């Protein structure tokens, strides 16, 4: 009996240790440093930034005049849109090596993907279309017509919607994610450009109106909130919106519950795009005129570091792998 009890205890201990070992293996395999892929339009490169250590790891040569970017986290790919060469550059995130250059017959601007990361959606600025690219084939499989000068594009996972800003038409358009049929066209402020979506809401930065529009996807009602000069992009986090103001070198913080701007943060010259680094609880801002990114602590709303990148840093889209 004594031997049997000891044997049972050893078996139990082995099981417990195995569970703990598996737990730590899972932590190690899923815990990686957040990386930012910053397009430097003036020098045809992408800066890879280690956001935990706040330093540039590498510069990668891509096509001419890179602007848009989208991270395919599951596929571990960074997709870059090159407006002058009319190509896409596909970067392997594991090795930070350029895998493939995809020729296009149009100028790519905004880039996003569906929830499964099977399809990329790319706005065709000059032809008022959206191209649909198969991630598996890495080629365009179809297109659909949209409004004038489609700019920003995002995918709403909650409702399976493709959302597009039409800059010169002053509208947001919402399309079904499966059949690409128009659901609704909504008037915004002047020159909507960068957009963001989460849950049942869409947020648009209206460049010429110095405002953001907030669209409720349940009833398509719109709320307008004033921000700084020439807002370009917007993201949200925990009840607040953050907006780049390109002409006064600042970020507006908007309290979404109170419906108003509550603070401005001074950043680098001509801030354009921004994204949330949830791993490190940081807001990352690209500064087109400053050739840098500003890193903001989301607890204190203070700039904790400015990291030099390349000439004319833009990174229009979802640029953080985390």
CATH number of the domain within which 169 lies: 2.130.10.10
Residues 215 and 282 in one domain: yes
**Is 241 found in the same domain as 142?**
yes
Q: What sign does the CA torsion over 306, 312, 59, 90 have? A: positive
10 and 112 inside one domain? no
- Are 56 and 11 part of one and the same domain? no
Confidence at residue 28, expressed as pLDDT on a 0 to 100 scale: 43
Do 41 and 10 have their domain in common? no
- Looking at the structure, tell me whether residues 3 and 125 fall in a common domain: no
Measure the CA–CA gap between 119 and 114, rounded to whole angstroms.
Answer: 6
Give the least confident one: 28-32, 39-43, 226-230: 28-32
Residue 123 has pLDDT above 80, yes or no: yes
Query: How far is C-alpha 99 from the geometric centre of its chain's CA atoms?
Result: 21
Q: Are residues 10 and 130 in the same domain?
A: no
The pLDDT-based confidence of 32 (bands split at 50, 70, 90) is confident
Query: Distance between alpha carbon 120 and the CA centroid of its chain, in Å?
Result: 13
Structural domain boundaries, residue 163? 34-321
Split into its structural domains, the chain has a count of: 2
In terms of domains, do 80 and 227 share one? Answer: yes
Residues 156 and 246 in one domain: yes
Question: In three state form, how does the secondary structure of the chain look?
Answer: CHHHHHHHHHHHHHHHHHHHHHHHHHHHHHCCCCEEEEEECCCCEEEEEECCCCEEEEEEECCCCEEEEEEECCCCEEEEEECCCCEEEEEECCCCEEEEEEECCCCEEEEEECCCCCEEEEEECCCCEEEEEECCCCEEEEEEECCCCEEEEEEECCCCEEEEEEHHHCEEEEEECCCCCEEEEEECCCCEEEEEEECCEEEEEEHHHCEEEEEECCCCCEEEEECCCCEEEEEEECCEEEEEECCCCEEEEEECCCCEEEEEEECCCCEEEEEEECCCCEEEEEECCCCEEEEEECCCCEEEEEEECCCCECCEEECEEC
Please state, in angstroms and rounded to a whole number, the distance separating the CA atoms of residues 226 and 219: 22
| Residue 24: predicted pLDDT | 45
State residue 218's pLDDT score: 97
Residues paired with 286 in a beta bridge: 293
Residues 158, 27, single domain; the answer is no
Tell me the average pLDDT across 251-257.
98
Same domain, 115 and 244: yes
| pLDDT for residue 9 is more than 90 | no
Phi and psi dihedrals of 20, rounded to 5?
-65, -40
């Amino acid at each position: 009996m004594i031997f049997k009890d000891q044997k049972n205890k050893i078996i139990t201990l082995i099981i417990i240790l195995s569970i703990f070992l598996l737990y730590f293996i899972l932590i190690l395999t899923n815990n990686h440093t957040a990386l930012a892929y910053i397009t430097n339009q003036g020098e045809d490169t992408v800066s890879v930034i280690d956001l935990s250590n706040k330093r540039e790891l590498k510069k990668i040569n891509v096509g001419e005049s890179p602007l848009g970017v989208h991270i395919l986290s599951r596929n571990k790919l960074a997709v870059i849109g090159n407006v002058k060469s009319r190509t896409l550059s596909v970067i392997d995130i594991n090795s930070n090596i350029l895998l493939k250059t995809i020729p296009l017959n149009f100028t790519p601007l905004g880039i996003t993907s569906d929830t499964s990361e099977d399809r990329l959606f790319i706005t065709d600025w000059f032809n008022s279309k959206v191209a649909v690219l198969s991630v598996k084939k890495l080629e365009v499989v179809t297109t659909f017509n949209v409004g004038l000068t489609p700019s920003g594009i995002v995918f709403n996972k909650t409702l399976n919607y493709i959302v597009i800003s039409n800059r010169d038409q002053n509208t947001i358009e919402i399309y079904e994610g499966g059949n690409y049929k128009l659901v609704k066209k909504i008037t915004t402020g002047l020159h909507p450009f960068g957009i963001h979506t989460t849950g049942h809401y869409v947020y648009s930065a209206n460049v010429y109106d110095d405002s953001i529009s907030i669209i409720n996807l349940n009833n398509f009602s719109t709320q307008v909130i004033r921000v700084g000069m020439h807002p370009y992009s917007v993201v949200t986090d925990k009840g607040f919106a953050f907006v780049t103001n390109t002409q006064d070198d600042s970020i507006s913080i908007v309290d979404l519950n109170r419906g108003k701007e509550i603070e401005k943060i001074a950043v680098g010259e001509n801030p354009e795009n921004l994204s949330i680094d949830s791993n490190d609880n940081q807001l990352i801002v690209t500064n087109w005129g400053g050739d840098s990114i500003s890193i903001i602590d989301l607890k204190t709303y203070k700039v904790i570091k400015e990291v030099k990148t390349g000439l004319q840093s833009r990174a229009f889209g979802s640029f953080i792998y985390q």
